[in-house]
Amino acid sequence: MERIRIAPGVYLNRMATDRFHSDYVSLRFLLPLRERDAALHSLLPYVLRRGCAPYPTLAALTERLQMLYDARLAASASGRRGEIQLLTQSAWMLDGSVAPAGEDIFGETLAVMRDLWFSPLTENGVFREDYTESEKKTLTDAIRSRINDKSVYAAMRCRRVMCQREAYGASTLGREEDAAAADPAALTKVHRRVLTDAPCEIFCIGRGDADRTARLFADAFGAWPRTENPFPKTEVIRSAPRVRHVTDKMDVRQGRLSVGFRLGLTEADGCRPLLLMLNEIYGASPTSKLFMNVREKLGLCYDCSSAADWLKGVMFVHCGIADGKRRAAEEAILHQLDEIREGRITVSELDAARRSIRSALRSLSDGPDSIESWHLGRRLAGQETTVEEEIERVMAVTRGEVAEAARRVTADTVYFLSGTEAGKAGGDDEEA
Amino acid sequence: MTKKHKYERHRSAFPGEAYVHVSHESGLEIYVYPKKHSAAHVLLTVEYGAGDRAFRPCPGAPTVVVPDGTAHFLEHKMFENEDGGDAFEDFAALGADANAFTSSTYTEYCFTATEHVYRALGILLRMVREPHFSEGSVAREREIIAEEIRMEEDDPWQALYAGTMRALYHEHPLRIPVAGTVDSVAQIGPEQLRACFDTFYNLRNMTLFVCGDVSPSAIVRTADRCLAPAPPFTAERIRPAEPETVAARRFYREMEVAQPLFTIALKDRHISPDPAVRLRRQCVYDILNAVLLSSSSPLRTALYEEGLIGPQLSYGFSHCSEYSYNEITGESDDPEAVYTRLMEHVGRLKKTGIPPDAFERCRRAVYAASVRSFEDTVETAQTLADFVLDGEEMFDEPRAVLSVTREELDEALGTVFREEAAVMGVVAPPRR
């Protein structure tokens, strides 16, 4: 992946490959994740999509994209890495080589993407009132709908409780009250700030002409007074002083247990391969300790897995359990971490984890989005690592190193979304 | 020794896209789709699903009726090894990531691997021919599956789908939850699992699909090594007859959701025994749905601008030899109004005909979707399986899409969008 500067704070990452029949281009604006700004960040792509100067309605925009063989323009501010909110606009289109008449889908789609961001529809210098109001409802509905998926909801609540004094606790969708308070002037200000100040990584992957992409966005950004800013920083808390227990009650059949941990290490410490191994052995695969023991041996749950944010240095375990099994599940989850701390990792566990990660890393090249995700992740962590180097380092991680890393991990928060039956029995948990 | 297998090559209109079909002398049908990606995806389907609740192992034998959820239970237990170990671990030892799914009509076992594909295939081919289950392990699995069922029961989208299918069908197996219920699963023991295994897990009732950087002859050699010719497949499935009418016009349920979720489903009576006719009908309805419901449509625009629907609206025509229905799903504060407006809009289009420009745009969009289905190994293998299991040719699709005419859409409007064929499912927040 070659990276070239095309404007202050704007970099084009290019990779030519004929592996796909489609082309992929994305703009990744890097914004500090902040509770009070998140709603406006989320609202922006919704409103931009409603209309720009050449395509003043969503219907007109969609008509244009359908003629371009359903070129997919997707925008969202829901991505997060550490305490960075990713405002992403991507274009994924068929390559002209598979279009029935060899149309220039690539160039035409990029032009639409540029128009969306650089020629928005305004009235008196601000976004249109009606579009803004309408999209505020869309955002509010999305914020409220988070309750629909209980596992996602429990994970979000756990993160919020654990990181209530850190930016990380914020949801990328933002708060309902901030969505309600948004107006065209504030949104227009955010749009300007994004185009002038936010670091932007552009990715161009596939058969599409990267020089053309560079010229188009160099011109577009060139019309704005850009400032080159560093990437937003992520606050890292290395350990938890004590374990906090919080329970919410809801009318559900199955309780959801989420446990949040401080890893003590981050990718910026150069520890990603080690943390990948720890997470893999602990709970990231069907041969992990959590799956094999908490599910298979103890039969406590159907799903039980761990996931981590390497930039922030946190890890979460999520599982769905019957209400009566909450204590047993918590003990089992913590016990499996103790097993790793004490070095009780079999040769086959170690080997399976190495192979699984190697396979996942090798598979990255199979999709433009996974190629992009890898490079963006390393860029954000300030690590210059190739996939091959990463594989080598993963293969060299030892049992002792994993155990030592696990000993740095501290449990911070145990969150339980309880069914109403348990609620009647009375809680044994302290409230945050 | 050269074995006698039947080979058949299938080529697409696009360079490099081709697959080989081998009728293996063991009785297994094998499809190999070489693709130069890092990860190979292998999936094996058994034509035995949640819908097969009653069957005769051979003609004249007494009918066997099994509790709901047996096929899914068997899928879980097939991963158990002779020594009580877990096949997941065997796959993981080779760096392969295994999984399995059960649908109404078939059970699927799959893995993704970047190395040792042939050895992992050996494990898969052994696993589906040798069941090992004990009273104790079946009892433990019951607990795990009960948690899986409870998790699904808390998923409002799942509840919406299940309720809508029960409204659409009187007898069809789509009514049955694939995993069964906590009560039905309690009745499943080793003897039922064994009976189903003996009846359906016959190589002549299985199909293997491989997509990745593999050689068809090496795949066949692996099958040669692992498989002996299977006895004839003699099972008779007992499927209840399904009336043409819908079972109920409405399904309504209250759950913890932010906003009502709805599905409008239309039952289609026209299922041709000819796969080519079905493929064409699928293309026609895909285009028709895009004309009616994609973001460029006047109906969608009006519903969105009036706040009757959110930005997300999904729609699709599920059409195969076993069932056929058209479905529209979204979130709305007033689902009945959405339904009324949809039918009014269809009524107008029946009079005016499909606009030519909308037709052309939507045909292009559906063409693009058919090309996108062979971008990565997982999706390609799955798409190929879907086509093959329904007797269709996946490479015919892009061409078929481009040959659909506007007149066919006009005709299709009248045959499915009828009041008496329509049901609506709603999952709404509790009225407090």
ipTM: 0.89
Question: What percent of chain B clears pLDDT 70, i.e. is strictly above it?
Answer: 99
Helix, strand, coil percentages (3-state) for chain B, rounded to 5, are 45, 20, 35
| pLDDT confidence tier of residue B87, bands split at 50, 70 and 90 | very high
Do B368 and A142 count as a contact with CB atoms less than 8 A apart?
no
Given strand A410-418, what is the order of strands in its sheet? A244-249, A410-418, A255-262, A314-321, A304-309
- Which is it for the CA torsion B133, B105, B95, A280, positive or negative? negative
pLDDT averaged over every residue in chain B: 94
Closest A-chain CA to B148: A302
For residue B83, the model assigns a pLDDT of: 85
The model's pLDDT over B400-409, given as tens digits with 9 standing for 90+, comes to: 999 999 999 9
Print the SS3 string covering chain A.
CEEEEEECCEEEEEEECCCCCEEEEEEEEEEECCHHHHHHHHHHHHHHHHCECCCCCHHHHHHHHHHCCCCEEEEEEEEEECCEEEEEEEEEEECHHHCCCCCCHHHHHHHHHHHHHHCECEECCEECHHHHHHHHHHHHHHHHHHHHCHHHHHHHHHHHHHCCCCHHHCCCCCCHHHHHHCCHHHHHHHHHHHHHHCCEEEEEEECCCHHHHHHHHHHHHHCCCCCCCCCCCCCCCCCCCCCEEEEEECCCCCEEEEEEEECCCCHHHCCHHHHHHHHHHHHHCCCCHHHHHHHHHCCCCCCEEEEEECCCCEEEEEEEECHHHHHHHHHHHHHHHHHHHCCCCCHHHHHHHHHHHHHHHHHHHHCHHHHHHHHHHHHHHCCCCCHHHHHHHHHHCCHHHHHHHHHHCEEEEEEEEECHHHHHHCCCCCCC
Mutation for B interface: A65, A69, A116, most B CBs within 10 A: A69
pLDDT mean over B315-321: 95
B-contacting residues in A 366-395 (Cβ below 8 Å): 366-367
The model's pLDDT over A337-353, given as tens digits with 9 standing for 90+, comes to: 999 999 999 999 999 99
Instruction: Give the C-alpha separation, B168 to B175, whole Å.
Output: 8
pLDDT beyond 50 at A431: no
Query: What is the CB neighbour count within 10 angstroms for residue A197?
Result: 18
pLDDT mean over B261-279: 96
One CATH from 3.30.830.10, 3.30.300.30, 3.40.50.2000, 3.90.1150.10 for A244-425: 3.30.830.10
pLDDT beyond 80 at B381: yes
Do B296 and A21 count as a contact with CB atoms less than 8 A apart?
no
Do B296 and A66 count as a contact with CB atoms less than 8 A apart?
yes
pTM surpassing 0.80? yes
| pLDDT confidence tier of residue A423, bands split at 50, 70 and 90 | very low
| Three-state secondary-structure class, residue B287 | helix
For residue B3, the model assigns a pLDDT of: 64
Do B113 and A359 count as a contact with CB atoms less than 8 A apart?
yes
pLDDT beyond 90 at B354: yes
Return all residues near B432 (Cβ < 8 A) that are at least 6 apart.
none
For residue B295, the model assigns a pLDDT of: 92
For residue A228, the model assigns a pLDDT of: 97
- What chain B holds in terms of domains, given with CATH numbers, is 6-237 (3.30.830.10), 250-428 (3.30.830.10)
Do B256 and A252 count as a contact with CB atoms less than 8 A apart?
yes
The model's pLDDT over A221-259, given as tens digits with 9 standing for 90+, comes to: 999 999 999 999 999 999 999 999 999 999 888 999 999
**Amino acid present at A79:** G
- In chain A, residues with a C-beta closer than 8 Å to the C-beta of B298 are 59
pLDDT mean over B205-222: 97
HSE-CB for B312 with a 13 A CA cutoff? 11
The model's pLDDT over A12-71, given as tens digits with 9 standing for 90+, comes to: 999 999 999 999 999 999 999 999 999 999 999 999 999 999 999 999 999 999 999 999
Asked: is A2-222 a CATH 3.30.830.10 domain? The reply is: yes
Calculate how close chain A gets to B224, using CA atoms only, in Å. 27
CATH topology agreement for domains A2-222 and A244-425: yes
| pLDDT confidence tier of residue B232, bands split at 50, 70 and 90 | very high
Return all residues near A386 (Cβ < 8 A) that are at least 6 apart.
none
Return all residues near B61 (Cβ < 8 A) that are at least 6 apart.
none
Return all residues near A221 (Cβ < 8 A) that are at least 6 apart.
A6, A7, A10, A195, A200
pLDDT mean over B315-338: 96
| pLDDT confidence tier of residue A370, bands split at 50, 70 and 90 | very high
For residue A426, the model assigns a pLDDT of: 35
The model's pLDDT over A18-29, given as tens digits with 9 standing for 90+, comes to: 999 999 999 999
pLDDT beyond 70 at A429: no
| pLDDT confidence tier of residue A421, bands split at 50, 70 and 90 | low
For residue B243, the model assigns a pLDDT of: 95
Tokens of B148: 């899986």
Q: CB of A253 within 8 Å of any CB in chain B? A: yes
Residue ranges of domains in chain A: 2-222, 244-425
pLDDT beyond 70 at A432: no
For residue A190, the model assigns a pLDDT of: 98
The model's pLDDT over B13-30, given as tens digits with 9 standing for 90+, comes to: 888 899 999 999 999 999
